[in-house]
Each structure stands twice: as C-alpha cells, then as structure tokens.
C-alpha cells in the first residue's frame, strides 16, 4: 500500500504550519482537506494560506470552485485521490491537511459513492412521513438515522431510489483505509483553543473580512449559495440587512467557530485511529516529525 500522511485537528490548532514543515522535510505536496477552502474568493474567513504563506509548496484541492458552485464529499474524494495518485507517481508521499473529518475519511477509506446528480433532495412532506417511508424501504439505515434528521432521511431515500439501499452499499465496504496511513491529530486544550479562536477572528476582521464578505455576497441571491454556509460568512447576513451590529456579528462568528471546533474534536476522537499530539509542545512536535520521517523511509508494506 502507498503511504499517505494526514494532519488533522480542530480549527486553529496549527495544522497548516505543521503540514508545511513536513512538506519541506519530505519535499512533497499538500492536499487540503477542507470544505470551504475549495471556494476561490473565500480567503480571509476560511483561513486559507496566501500564496506567499504556502512557501512554494504545491497545495491541491484549494480554489477549485466558484462561489456559486455546489461541492460535496464525492467531488473531494475524486479530486483528492487523483492528487494523491499524482504525487505517488512522482515518488513522493502526499500530506493531507484538513479539518473536515468526513472528507478525510471518504478519501482514505473505501467509501463508495457512485456517480450521480449532485442535487439537494427536497420534499414538503413532514419528517414523520419521510421517516415512515424510510423505515419501510431501508429499515436498516432508518435505525441509525434520527427521524428529525431530515437531511439524512432524505438522502437515504434518495439512495434507495437508485435501486441499491444505503445500508446495502455500506455493508459491501471493508471500512479499511486504502492507503498506508499515518494520521496525526493536533490538539490544543479547550480553554487555550477558545482564546486562539477569539484572536483569530479578531485578526480576520482586521484583515478585512467585512470587505471580503461584501465583495462575495453583495447580492441577496448569493447568500443562498452553499459557499455562504461557511462560518465567518453566514453570520453577516443579519449585519448586511442592518439587523445586527458589527460586534454581534463578530461574537456569532466566535461562538460558531468554537462550536465547530468542538464537533471536530468529537469526530476525530471517535471516528479516526490517530496519534494525538499537543500542538503547543514543541518537543512533542519535533519528536513527531522525526517519527514520521523515519516511517516515510520504510519499505512499502503489502
């Protein structure tokens, strides 16, 4: 199996910096595992590295979509795997850096998405009615989806329409990585992370986040885009409509970012087999780098 390095963790834990460090040491390229950084004009609010900050390291899966476009795990799986293959062909070990847990897992594991229309399933039926139908069509999947989780119920019904059930599709998977993966989760104690988030948002404001938002989402129609769902963007809706103050907007961004970080931590804790490292401990990071470099030079396993 080919090797892949993964640097994961909550927002504001220093993933990008550590990823760059490894990329230099291994003379390789980085693949961003992030659902918002794929959008071309979302720079400040998505905490995207600037061209200079990339320090000459090639970054994949960034700036690949226009604000009006939809994007999904499927797209990411295709494009990230293509980039991985390309880097492997150069005899290098790709580094996947990102905080979108599902995206990382879908690339590394044998998640199976068949080619299909990327449409948002919609319905005006009640949650109860939809769930009842799912119970009938795919009881196995229904068991693991809460009736109120309309999005998931609709998706499972959508899959069932194709003839194959969601539960059947997943049962065929081995649920094992398709690469030889070394995965690291960068960890920062919650209280400190909260402060870092506060500061980071403040910096975004100073760097002109409001201007970026106005430029990208000036027209109300654009605020229906998937890209507008990003934290740091959607919070400006009320502000742009003169229904909220600047400080309320900033506060909302901070709160949403913290809640997001919490969800990310929960995901990585339970969904992934990874080495957790205190990102604030320079000695631990040095050791980690050495370990990864040593692992990188080992023979490929079968």
State whether the Cα torsion 264-266-268-271 is positive or negative.
negative
* Count of C-beta atoms within a 10 Å radius of residue 79: 17
Nearer to RNA, 30 or 292 (CB): 30
Taking phi over 0 as left and psi of -120 to 50 as alpha, with beta for the rest, 175 belongs to left
Residue 9 is a binding residue for RNA (CB under 7 A): no
- Which one among 63, 164, 260, 296 touches RNA, defined by CB under 7 A? 260
Angle of helix 73-89 versus helix 101-108 axis, rounded to 10: 50
- Least CB distance from residue 297 to RNA, whole Å? 32
Segment near RNA (CB under 7 A); pick from 1-9, 83-91, 117-125, 178-186: 117-125
Residue 81 is a binding residue for RNA (CB under 7 A): no
Closest CA to 116 of 85, 148, 81, 158: 158
Q: Which of residues 149-208 bind RNA (CB under 7 A)?
A: 149-152, 154-155, 159, 166, 169-170, 173, 175, 190
Query: What is the C-alpha separation between 191 and 148, in angstroms, rounded?
Result: 32
Facing residues of 186 across strands?
Answer: 9, 277
What is the per-residue binding string for RNA in 200-229, x denoting contact by CB under 7 A? --------------------------x--x
Nearer to RNA, 92 or 198 (CB): 198
Residue 68 is a binding residue for RNA (CB under 7 A): no
Q: What are the phi and psi torsion angles at 254 (to 5°)?
A: -60, -50
- Least CB distance from residue 299 to RNA, whole Å? 30
- Tokens 């069509």 — which residue? 137
- Which one among 13, 43, 46, 182 touches RNA, defined by CB under 7 A? 46
């Amino acid at each position: 199996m080919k090797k892949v390095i993964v640097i994961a963790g909550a927002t504001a834990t220093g993933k990008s910096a550590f990823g760059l460090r490894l990329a230099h040491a291994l003379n390789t390229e980085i693949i961003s595992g992030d659902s918002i950084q794929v959008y071309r004009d979302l720079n400040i609010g998505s905490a995207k590295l600037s061209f200079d900050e990339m320090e000459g390291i090639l970054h994949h899966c960034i700036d690949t979509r226009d604000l009006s476009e939809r994007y999904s795990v499927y797209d990411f799986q295709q494009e990230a795997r293509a980039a991985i293959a390309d880097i492997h062909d150069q005899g290098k070990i790709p580094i996947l850096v990102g905080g979108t847990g599902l995206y990382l897992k879908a690339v590394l594991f044998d998640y199976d998405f068949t080619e299909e229309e990327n449409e948002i399933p919609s319905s005006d039926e009640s949650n109860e009615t939809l769930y009842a139908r799912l119970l009938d069509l795919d009881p196995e999947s229904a068991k693991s989806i809460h009736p109120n989780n309309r999005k998931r119920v609709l998706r499972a019904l959508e899959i069932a329409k194709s003839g194959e059930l969601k539960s059947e599709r997943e049962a065929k998977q081995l649920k094992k990585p398709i690469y030889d993966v070394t995965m690291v989760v960068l960890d920062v104690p919650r209280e400190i992370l909260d402060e870092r988030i506060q500061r980071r948002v403040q910096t975004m404001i100073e760097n002109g986040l409001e201007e970026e938002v106005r430029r990208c989402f000036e027209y109300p129609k654009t605020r229906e885009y998937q890209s507008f769902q990003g934290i740091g963007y959607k919070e400006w809706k009320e502000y742009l409509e003169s229904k909220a103050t600047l400080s309320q907007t900033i506060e909302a961004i901070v709160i949403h970012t913290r809640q997001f970080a919490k969800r990310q931590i929960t995901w990585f804790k339970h969904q992934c087999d990874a080495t957790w490292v205190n990102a604030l401990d320079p000695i631990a990071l040095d050791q980690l780098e050495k370990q990864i470099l040593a692992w990188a030079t080992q023979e490929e396993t079968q």
